[in-house]
Homo-oligomer: A and B are copies of this chain.
Amino acid sequence: MSLVVVGSVAYDGVETPQGKVDRMLGGAATYIGLSASYFAPVKIVAVVGDDFAQEDVDLLASRRVDLEGLERVQGGKTFFWAGVYSNDMNDRTTLRTDLNVFADFQPKLPESYRKSPYLFLGNIQPDLQRHVRSQMNGVKYTGGDTMNYWINDFRPALLQTLKQWDFLLINDGEARLLSGDRNLRRAAEKIMGMGPSTLVIKRGEYGAILFHGREHFIAPGYLLEEVFDPTGAGDSFAGGFMGYLAGEGVQPNDGISDMALLRRAVVYGSVMGSFCCEKFGVDRFRTLTRDEIEARYREFEDATGF
């Protein structure tokens, strides 16, 4: 049950209280893809420049991520972002955003991707998100991410896009902005009225809340001994969530309404987000094993049961 992931593949420069890296592999599709690859076959749609390094291709390939949809623009440069985190790592300041080839990103779906049942649309322009989905003739379960810029300045397009989605995965600030309601419970009701039958609200170190129908599930964040770099944690969460759903082999018809399955997917999301923070950038995924993931899942059970 393969999963198509559309979004950015980038280079990041990151400074946290634990250290500084001038340039390393990053981008939402990278984190989502690496994280999801532990659960299901992943196919990436993204664009990079000809500065994209072979070692980074190799890392993705080592996790069996399909790169047929990774477009390379000759003479172009890969998206570059740099930022610095606050002392408590709950805030970050962007130092530089060079969109480069990502500015004109027109996702191109290889023929071999079109029958995948699962589609995760990363944070890109909502019309592009809709266009990708329209080309996926076998898609059964679609969802994704967005951000303040699209919510504020592309609202009609975003609302059209959300109508077709089975789930939306955003952070608490975005949920408040999209719904116009500060209270997350009421915000969730309003957002589910826009289309997605499932909503996951990420709350950073505090975990995430899943809303589905009239039920909700609150997953705390894992208590790490040390946070090295939170970059990509939210995307790793998304990868764990969607990867688990895809990997379970459920054939979704009218969305997924198995609340127990969705709960477990959220916990796997939290697990993957927590691993991501343990090293800089994608480094934790170089050594992470499925056994470690299962062990941490059990730790979550121990830390939340009563």
| Chain A contact residues, CB within 8 Å of chain B | 87-88, 182-186, 203, 206-207, 209, 215-220, 223-227, 260, 263-264, 266-267, 301-306
Contact = CB atoms under 8 A, between A and B. Distances in A.
Contacts of A207: 220
Contacts of A219: 220, 304, 306
A266 B304 CA distance: 11
A60 B50 CA distance: 73
List the 4 shortest-distance A-B pairs measured between CB atoms, nearest first.
A263-B306, A218-B220, A206-B206, A185-B223
Tell me if A's interface is mostly helix, strand, loop or mixed: mixed
A223 B218 contact: yes
A217 B184 contact: no
Given A183-B225, A218-B303, 13 more contacts: A186-B225, A207-B220, A209-B223, A215-B302, A217-B303, A218-B304, A219-B220, A219-B304, A260-B306, A263-B305, A263-B306, A267-B306, A305-B305
A1 to B, nearest CB: 21
B220 A264 contact: no
A275 to B, nearest CB: 16
A161 B183 CA distance: 40
A272 to B, nearest CB: 15
Contacts of A264: 306
A185 B306 contact: no
A258 to B, nearest CB: 12
Nearest to A176: B88
Nearest to A299: B216
Contacts of A223: 184-185, 209, 216, 218
A184 B264 CA distance: 25
Contacts of A182: 87-88
A304 B217 contact: yes
A19 to B, nearest CB: 15
B225 A306 contact: no
Contacts of A301: 306
Nearest to A262: B306
A306 B266 CA distance: 10
Nearest to A189: B225
A124 B88 CA distance: 29
